[in-house]
Amino acid sequence: MGTLILAVTSLLLYSVGTALQALSFRGRVHTSIAITTLIGLLALTAHGLLIAQTVHHEGGFDFGFFQSSVLISWLIAFLLLALNLRKPVQSLFLGVYPLAALTIIMGLITHSPSRLVPEDHYGMLSHIALSVTAYSLFTLAAIQAVLLYLQNRQLKQNYNSVLIRNLPPLQTMESLLFELVWAGVVMLILAIVTGALFIDDLFAQDLAHKTLFSLLSLIVFIALLIGRYTKGWRGITASRWTLAGCALLMLAFYGSKFVLELIFHRGG
């Protein structure tokens, strides 16, 4: 199936999923988990086939800026769809589906230098897989943190707002946020460890900023978890720390790739 057909199919399904969630959020329609899951699986299938054509090449995988973005957005949507089977996270689809659609559009209309990793470089591929998983989990945590922040604000201003009526109780929202942060921290630590094991020099010129910002973000997330269990951090405080850590992590990944590939046009 052609790349354009797969991209259009993915965009259409993500648009349908977003529209249904928006209507459900406004109370216009009722969507069951079965319908949400079906639409999500169809979108992920088309999105996955698109990745197979744009990221996987003969002899290796291309992890350029936009190719990586398409891959990460697929994993974010996949994790959310799986999480939706046991947690009340429907509201996150309103952020994740448009994000996935945006990465697909950018991947189609733009180009970045190829950064090919050979198929037999298992150590490097394991580092990349763990890193991508960590980025995906923290992206979900960032969206959850924004919703938690808005929920806290709305509880003080308009207790009967649309947002309050649709979101789970505050304690459930906070619990989910810290579950995502915990999972992200574990994946990030494993990613840093595998990077140290399989990358010759983590502080080489091309990797110094990425490594530094990744370590800083890890420190922020660990401080957040310590603050949670020693000082009872929650609500707006937890949201701010989460967003700060996610911002550092995004700088580590997207900032370094943006400068290297789109400004200096350096592949690898």
**Left (φ > 0), alpha (ψ -120 to 50) or beta: where does 101 sit?**
alpha
Is the sign of the CA dihedral 189, 194, 195, 200 positive or negative?
positive
Would residue 136 count as lying in a domain? yes
For 215, the domain range is 3-263
Gap between the Cα atoms of 149 and 9, Å rounded = 34
- Other beta carbons less than 10 A from residue 33's beta carbon: 10
- Supply the DSSP string of 163-205, one letter for each residue: HHHHSPPHHHHHHHHHHHHHHHHHHHHHHHHHHHHHSS-TTST
Would residue 268 count as lying in a domain? no
Would residue 189 count as lying in a domain? yes
Would residue 84 count as lying in a domain? yes
Number of H helices, E strands in the chain: 10, 3
Looking at the structure of the chain, the number of domains it has is 1
- Supply the DSSP string of 65-79, one letter for each residue: HHHHHHHHHHHHHHH
Would residue 233 count as lying in a domain? yes
Can you give the C-alpha Rg of the chain in angstroms?
Answer: 19
Contact 115, 268 (CB under 8 A): yes
Gap between the Cα atoms of 61 and 52, Å rounded = 9
Would residue 191 count as lying in a domain? yes
pLDDT, tens digit only, all 268 positions of the chain: 578 899 999 999 999 999 998 888 777 777 778 888 999 999 999 999 999 888 877 777 777 777 888 999 999 999 999 998 888 888 889 899 999 999 999 888 877 666 677 777 778 888 888 999 999 999 999 999 999 988 888 877 766 667 777 778 888 889 999 999 999 999 999 999 998 887 766 555 566 778 888 899 999 999 999 999 999 888 889 999 999 999 999 888 776 666 655 555 554 5
Q: Where are the beta strands (DSSP E) in the chain?
A: 56-57, 60-62, 116-118
Q: What is the pTM of this model?
A: 0.88
- What residues contact residue 195 under an 8 Å CB cut-off, 6+ apart? 127, 131, 202, 211
Would residue 75 count as lying in a domain? yes
Would residue 240 count as lying in a domain? yes
Gap between the Cα atoms of 55 and 70, Å rounded = 9
Total count of residues recorded for the chain: 268
